[in-house]
Structure 1
């Protein structure tokens, strides 16, 4: 778009090469003028692309646009401070998450990307803040289970093993008493695999931390979840399950 705005028709071969990169660019840049077009036609295309995809007001861009740019340029402290302010503002006013046309429904995606961005920046405490609230606000059993095992993973990676065990217990509660039909097939898909994997990884962490009773208890829970899996979901976890069982035998 920026190249097109310059209005140099000598750049058209370059733009057309970019359009050929892959299927997405072929679709997204399908309106690029063909060779022989005038400078006015090139600039008109660029202005229309700018208006439809970007706009002219930087304040219209989501915060993530600027924090991603700052992180990519090595300005991690600036990105982190901006993200903390964004997370603080949501904690102070959760009504910001309400959907304008469905006020009783929440759009919790901002918390999800905040947790991911903090994790990428290596700030696990802030990632945990965002993920805890994200998990607490989920409405379907599937979303509660998915957010819960991610929360457990972050807690494990932060060394908060008892909290991680509690988060996985909440995940198992969601599986056992979902309250809706969103988890009808969790045993057959990656969600079930990921939940089982996190149980075994936390079991290994507890064993390494010298907590034998908690290790044995969580291994039993992990095996129960694993026993529910079917097909490829179970096959994907089997090696980790066997390695964890061997490690727990060493602890005993």
Structure 2
């Protein structure tokens, strides 16, 4: 027994205390089973310990925090430990009524809200609510905290639900909505804050310029901060940030840095940007329409600025801030924002879904990346794009550990890319003139890089299926990949080597099985 779950252990040992906790305080240890499988988006452990009469469940997280999930798909952190949670739940029967109270309400208003809720409870339970509450708290060794203080503590916990305690439906991957509607800072504010600090640092201390400029995430965030807080005196360090960003190719921050520098219209900056474009084809294309003369630099930058950047961070897509959070190393913050975007995505969001799949892949969340790519693939009408998306989906499913689904996806990719075969000619004129039969177009995609990718994925799936003992899947994928390999006009030696390694791997895995069968037969 640990100090932080002492009260829970007492409830488990004392049926009389457990009965009192269940009624009237609605913390029932006998209901410790949620209506559907759930998991934390972070992958951290979760244990159901109790439930209430609405179908909601209380979970203990790996760090001891208590998360509540309703039967209606809402979830929220309610305390930092089981003991603190019980102080709230016993001290505030009807606690759900207080999750929507404004955080700036004074103690008098909070006490009035409690009096109203508990007055209704006493109509059903009787006059002993206060006495039973005091007795239960005392028996469990818990404090009887003033109720307004408990509400404020509950609110502080609820505000910490995201990003670290985001709850998902384990089967579908969709996120639970927040249990409360308390005001929170927007994502851009949280992500931009370190950039604002670095911007102040750049302005105050020239010796810190190399440090900020050399760090890709800090450089990008500082440039974003400079976008919304522009000063003429920033030009010198903006040039430094621009030159560092140009070393990383065509990024959105490169374009932003070029605009922030170009707006000043300096001759030397025209020369600097011209040299950066000349040194890299990617930069050349990314900074299109660049003027030949320095006098037009500021006009070019202003037009770029108007079409691509804004003066208010709230106008920037949420995806931008989620991506930047990921680059800052704030994994759970990025994941929570990306999953919320994924849950809200619709038929018109194909480009967003593609970006979400890429970002979730960068986070290593292949299950959610596959979910985004699956939706993206379903929106593609062009066979080549759909086939490519299905191939990428197969790769993500394989890396997520769902090898059978990966096998089905890559089979669908080939079927989509090949399309329906043309029917044989039946036109009598065509037959009389001895016109050639219509030729299938299935070989076209095999001549492209897509042919190499699809073939390689077959072998990768076969290897992974062999590793996990799915030998039927492995054999089918190896056979299909080998057939495709023979049809490729220019297969690489690396692909041939992968085919040989896959064959040897599967043969090695099947040999012991064959030996066992021979021994059993003998």
TM-score (structure 1 length as normaliser): 0.77
**What's the offset of the Cα at 1:204?**
0.7
**What's the offset of the Cα at 1:179?**
7.3
What stretches of structure 1 of length at least 5 have no aligned partner? 98-106
Q: How many Å separate the matches in 1 of 2:446 and 2:300?
A: 50
What stretches of structure 2 of length at least 5 have no aligned partner? 1-258, 423-439, 511-522
Q: Which residue of 1 aligns with 2:416?
A: 174
Q: Does 1:246 pair with 2:504?
A: yes
Q: How many Å separate the matches in 1 of 2:382 and 2:297?
A: 48
**What's the offset of the Cα at 1:18?**
3.4
User: Which shifted more, 160-169 or 42-51?
Assistant: 42-51
**What's the offset of the Cα at 1:219?**
1.4
What SS does the aligned partner of 1:210 have? coil
CA gap of 1:44–1:244, structure 2 versus 1, over 3 A, is closer
TM-score (structure 2 length as normaliser): 0.40
Checking the alignment, whether the CA contact within 8 Å between 2:391 and 2:413 is kept in structure 1 is yes
Which of the pair is proportionally richer in helix? 1
Structure index of larger Rg: 2
CA gap of 1:46–1:228, structure 2 versus 1, over 3 A, is closer
Q: Which residue of 1 aligns with 2:308?
A: 53
Q: Does 1:22 pair with 2:277?
A: yes
Once the two structures are superposed, residues 148-198 of structure 1 have per-residue CA deviations (whole angstroms, 9 ceiling, x without a partner) of: 111111111011111111112212322443579985511211111100000
Which structure carries more relative contact order (alpha carbon 8 Å, separation 6+)?
A: 1
Structure 2 counterpart of 1:205, from 443, 456, 464: 464
Q: Does 1:138 pair with 2:403?
A: no
What SS does the aligned partner of 1:20 have? helix
Once the two structures are superposed, residues 26-73 of structure 1 have per-residue CA deviations (whole angstroms, 9 ceiling, x without a partner) of: 954834874xx7xxx876665444224323343443333222222222
CA gap of 1:108–1:17, structure 2 versus 1, over 3 A, is same
Q: How many Å separate the matches in 2 of 1:42 and 1:142?
A: 41
Q: Which residue of 2 aligns with 1:88?
A: 343
Q: How many Å separate the matches in 2 of 1:62 and 1:207?
A: 43
Checking the alignment, whether the CA contact within 8 Å between 2:403 and 2:465 is kept in structure 1 is yes
What SS does the aligned partner of 1:166 have? helix
CA gap of 1:173–1:52, structure 2 versus 1, over 3 A, is closer
CA gap of 1:55–1:25, structure 2 versus 1, over 3 A, is farther
Q: How many Å separate the matches in 2 of 1:162 and 1:238?
A: 24
Q: How does 1:1-252 map to 2 (within 5 A)?
A: 1-5=259-263, 7=264, 12-14=267-269, 16-23=271-278, 24-25=283-284, 28=288, 30-31=290-291, 34=294, 46-90=301-345, 94-95=346-347, 97=348, 108-178=350-420, 185-230=444-489, 232-233=490-491, 235-252=493-510
> What's the Cα RMSD here?
2.9
Once the two structures are superposed, residues 57-105 of structure 1 have per-residue CA deviations (whole angstroms, 9 ceiling, x without a partner) of: 4344333322222222223322222211111111xxx24x0xxxxxxxx
Q: How many Å separate the matches in 2 of 1:247 and 1:185?
A: 31
Checking the alignment, whether the CA contact within 8 Å between 1:189 and 1:233 is kept in structure 2 is no
Once the two structures are superposed, residues 88-146 of structure 1 have per-residue CA deviations (whole angstroms, 9 ceiling, x without a partner) of: 111xxx24x0xxxxxxxxx6222111101111012222111101111222212212211
Q: How many Å separate the matches in 1 of 2:299 and 2:277?
A: 24
Task: Give the number of aligned pairs.
Answer: 230
